[in-house]
């Protein structure tokens, strides 16, 4: 059985037929690391909620996804889609008890500069194994480090402690530049 990744990207217009900058990374994960990925885009909070509801209640393979990759904008404790701000607590409630054993990772388009209490709330409510992301929304795109995170997660270890150690051992400068954080 191969590994599975769900990716949800917020875009300006989901009806536009344009390729995402994520496609080469997702293709690399599929070809080099045997990670089947499902990609969806949304351009509104309604589309965001619909994609997550479809994932939770319509996707018969949901239990097989080991990671959820959210490429959305926002900062601190919120996700911004269109003119709507969604808190991590609201996202946690959407996933209540349904992320057992899964990694939830945010690209650096949304900074994950949260306190331990917020991270623990998210983990407790969702049942997720870990939540990760970056504190710096710099011009440096996190795609390379995101790819390495998923490759290590799927091929090397599913231990959050080992995952952080591997990333820091191999990509310490980039991890520090982007402010990599993983809460478990």
**pLDDT tens readout for residues 90-147:** 999 989 999 999 999 999 988 888 999 999 999 999 999 999 999 987 777 899 999 9
**DSSP assignment, residue 152?**
H
- Buried/exposed 141-174: b ≥16 CB within 10 Å, e otherwise: ebbebbbbbbbbbbeeeeebeebbebbeeebeeb
- Structural domain including 96 reads 3-183
Q: Under 8 Å CB-to-CB from 140, ≥6 apart: which residues?
A: 108, 174, 177, 178
Count: domains in the chain: 1
Residue 42 has pLDDT above 70, yes or no: yes
Report the Cα 110 to chain-centroid distance in Å.
10
Contact 6, 68 (CB under 8 A): yes
**What is the share, in percent, of the chain residues with pLDDT greater than 70?**
99
Question: Tell me, what's the pLDDT at 1?
Answer: 52
Summarize the confidence of residues 64-92 as an average pLDDT. 90
CATH (domain of 47): 3.40.50.1460
CA distances from 151 to 38, 147, 157, 180 (A): 16, 6, 9, 16
- Give 12's pLDDT tier (boundaries 50, 70, 90): confident
Copy the structure tokens of residue 170: 């191999």
């Amino acid at each position: 059985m191969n590994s599975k990744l769900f990716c949800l990207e917020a875009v300006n217009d989901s009806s536009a037929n344009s390729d995402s900058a994520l496609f080469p990374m997702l293709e690399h994960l599929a070809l080099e690391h045997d990670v089947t990925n499902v990609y969806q885009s949304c351009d509104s909070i309604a589309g965001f909620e619909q994609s997550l509801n479809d994932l939770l209640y319509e996707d018969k393979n949901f239990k097989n996804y080991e990671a959820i990759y959210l490429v959305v904008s926002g900062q601190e404790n919120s996700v911004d889609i269109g003119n709507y701000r969604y808190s991590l607590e609201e996202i946690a409630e959407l996933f209540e008890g349904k992320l057992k054993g899964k990694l939830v990772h945010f690209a650096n388009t949304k900074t994950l500069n949260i306190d331990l209490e917020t991270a623990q709330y998210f983990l407790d409510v969702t049942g997720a194994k870990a939540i990760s992301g970056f504190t710096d929304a710099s011009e440096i795109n996190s795609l390379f480090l995101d790819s390495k995170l998923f490759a290590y997660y799927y091929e090397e270890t599913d231990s959050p402690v080992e995952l952080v150690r591997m990333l820091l051992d191999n990509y310490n400068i980039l991890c520090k530049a982007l402010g990599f954080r993983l809460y478990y």
